[in-house]
Structure 1
Amino acid sequence: MERAAAAAAETALLREKASLLRESMRRSEAVREGSAAAVDSIGRRMAAVDEAVRPAQARTWSAYSAHDNVARSLRAVEAVVRHLDAVREAESVILESASKGLTGYLDTVDKLKSAEDFFTSNRICKAGDDALKRVDELLHKAAAELENEFSRVLSECSKPVELEQLLKCLPSCSSAKDSAESQPNPGAVLSLPTLIEPRYVPRLSKLAQKSLQLGCHKQFVKIYRDIRSSTLELTLKQLGVEYVTAEEVQTAQAESRNAKITHWIRCLQIAVKLLFPSERALCDQIFEGKHAWKDHCFAAATSKSLLNLLSFGQAISKSKTSPDKVFLLLDMFDRTLELQSEVEAVFAGDECAENRKSASTLVKCLAQAAKKTLIDFKDSIVKEPPKNTSTDGDVHPLTSYVGNYIKYLMDYLSSLKLIFQESSNGDGTKSGLVSEISGIIHAVETNLDVKAKQYKDHALGILFLMNNINYIVRSIRRSQGFSW
């Protein structure tokens, strides 16, 4: 009974809970339906609001875009007006001379270049096109004016270097009189002469740099080449250096030619050690930072002067040979060879290749001329007439001459070895120089043998040979530093 009552009570409780659950679900459904209706109503109202607001919103965005376009247009117009004003202001400056105020003139050129860039990239109106055309005209006038100013300044300050100034730069020379006997000390530190007053260099450099911006730098190079080349030529002319030919050298008297060779060697040293390095330094200062450009200017400005300077050496090497000429040729060979490294240094760079080639060609020509002179000397000994022998069997003048000749040649032993490209072969063969000297001695011996046979007294002929051969042997033994 108790169990039945408990089950009935539990059943009644479950029914009550189920009834409450159904009631809750009914109310929830009613709320859901009410919420859906409210959301639907709100959606319809929002759509109506959006439809009402959309035209106003479109008008607002349109007004904003119009305002932005107007602002951009105003800024563009302001930029055009600003650059037009700059062009008008620049016009009065450009039409004047740059010499009145170079800094202001160059600043005006910069403003015109800025205006040119602006109008080139902003083709927005006819006024801009007209302004661009006017800017181009003004820049053309500015380029011409800067060329004139560069030429004027460079011409005014480019003067030939006085001889006294050059000699002061040489430690061994203090005056023109001293220079007649003195030679520059190869190891001394030299002070380069001033080619242009330092106060002009910054002005010339500014003009040169601006020419690159304006695209007229080739004309500046030509101006620099013409002015500096002629100035350098005048400086060398004051030293007595001019272009000469082999015919002119050949017609000169021997004493005059010897003096000219001594003078030429001194001028060569002055040019290589002082003038050309000074010209290089000046070119580097004016055309600062543009390596190929300044190398080209330097090569162009010095090429003619170098040609004039080397022409004398070329003429000497091509002139008619004589035995004594070999010593002059060897002197010239020694000096040019000593200066070769300095020539290579001052004429460094691809643009100066022809200048370096001209100098090295002269060294080779002098070497070939010296070599040919010795060969011709040997041939002349062979062709020496067998007559005019001494009556007492004494040393013949030819023997004495050749002995002294060989002795003096030994003073140039190192140079002769270079010329004949002597090397230690170690195979018992004679080197080029030894072979050549031996050939000269053999030619003398052959000539003496023929002369000895001219004696009617056979014993006197033998005495003649002994005296002459003994003289040659003693001369050779007195020669220092040569291994036979």
Structure 2
Amino acid sequence: MEVCRGSMIQLLNFANAVTIGSRSPEWLFKILDVFETLRDLMPKFESMFSNQYCVVLRNEAITIWKRLGEAIRGIFMELENLIRRDPVKAAVPGGGFHPITRYVMNYLRATCRSCQTLEQVFDENVVPSKGVSPSLSSSLSVQMDWIMELLEGNLEAKSKIYKDPALSSVFMMNNGRYIVQKVKDSELGGLLGEDWIRKHNAKVQQCYSSY
């Protein structure tokens, strides 16, 4: 126990440094790696440092693990802010795909590769040593749905800068179809559900009719 104590403190100090780093969306995957590593090591920590004199050390590990979860949730908040702040500037030529649409959808598709870990992050009551529940609850679904709603609102604001109403419909139709396709081809589809897909397919059809 004494031999391993110093190494564990070094590991925890590193993990703690990660928690106070950047909240840029690009940092998500690095923080997820540290979060998952610390989570997977937690049962070994509890076994190795089971002595009553090591309670402080075990509690510190759990505290830092939870801070990593807070950092991940903070990154999702920054993603929301990024969508909100994306300016309504010049119209995309021909009503094509907007860069914010590509960025957000590809980003969310990439995050879904860590779907179970993210579900654990958004369920703050999960105990790390007990692992991840195999079934996804609604917390991550709600988060994804909210981000999609923000993206849709941002695109609707951008569609209004077209002087030609038909081109505005084309813009919403193209971006809407892109979003639905990305959802259907990834784990986002399972998170958002069939009702969400049907609803947004109907919106794309409505844009087509308006055009």
Give yes or no for TM over 0.5. Answer: yes
Distance 1:342 1:303 in 2: 13
- 1:400 is displaced (CA, Å) by 0.5
Q: Which residue of 2 aligns with 1:389?
A: 91
Asked whether the 8 Å contact 2:90–2:161 carries over to 1, the reply is no
Q: 2:74 aligns with which of 372, 375, 378?
A: 372
Asked whether the 8 Å contact 1:417–1:433 carries over to 2, the reply is yes
Amino acid at match of 2:19: S
- 1:434 is displaced (CA, Å) by 1.3
Q: Cα 1:422–1:475, aligned 2, differ >3 Å: closer, same or farther?
A: farther
Q: Which residue of 1 aligns with 2:180?
A: 473
Report 1:17-416 matches (<5 A).
Answer: 280=1, 298=2, 302-416=4-118
Amino acid at match of 2:180: V
Q: Which residue of 2 aligns with 1:252?
A: none
- 1:381 is displaced (CA, Å) by 0.5
Q: Which residue of 1 aligns with 2:149?
A: 442
2:161 is aligned with 1:454 = yes
- 1:483 is displaced (CA, Å) by 3.2
User: Percent sequence identity over matched residues?
Assistant: 31
Write the deviation string for residues 253-308 of structure 1: whole angstroms up to 9, x where unpaired.
Answer: xxxxxxxxxxxxxxxxxxxxxxxxxxx3xxxxxxxxxxxxxxxxx2xx65444332
Asked whether the 8 Å contact 2:122–2:139 carries over to 1, the reply is yes
Alignment TM-score, normalising by the size of structure 1: 0.36
Q: Cα 1:458–1:388, aligned 2, differ >3 Å: closer, same or farther?
A: same
Amino acid at match of 1:466: M
Distance 1:394 1:355 in 2: 55
- 1:367 is displaced (CA, Å) by 0.7
Amino acid at match of 1:406: L
Distance 1:388 1:312 in 2: 44
Asked whether the 8 Å contact 1:422–1:431 carries over to 2, the reply is no
Asked whether the 8 Å contact 2:140–2:191 carries over to 1, the reply is no
Partner SS state of residue 146, structure 2: helix
Gaps of 5+ in 1: 1-279, 281-297, 424-429
Distance 1:396 1:422 in 2: 35
Distance 2:101 2:174 in 1: 10
Identify the structure with bigger relative contact order (alpha carbons < 8 Å, sequence gap 6+): 2
Distance 2:93 2:115 in 1: 36
Find the structure with the greater CA-based Rg: 1
Q: Cα 1:461–1:422, aligned 2, differ >3 Å: closer, same or farther?
A: farther
Give the number of aligned pairs: 180
Amino acid at match of 1:309: L
Distance 1:325 1:470 in 2: 29
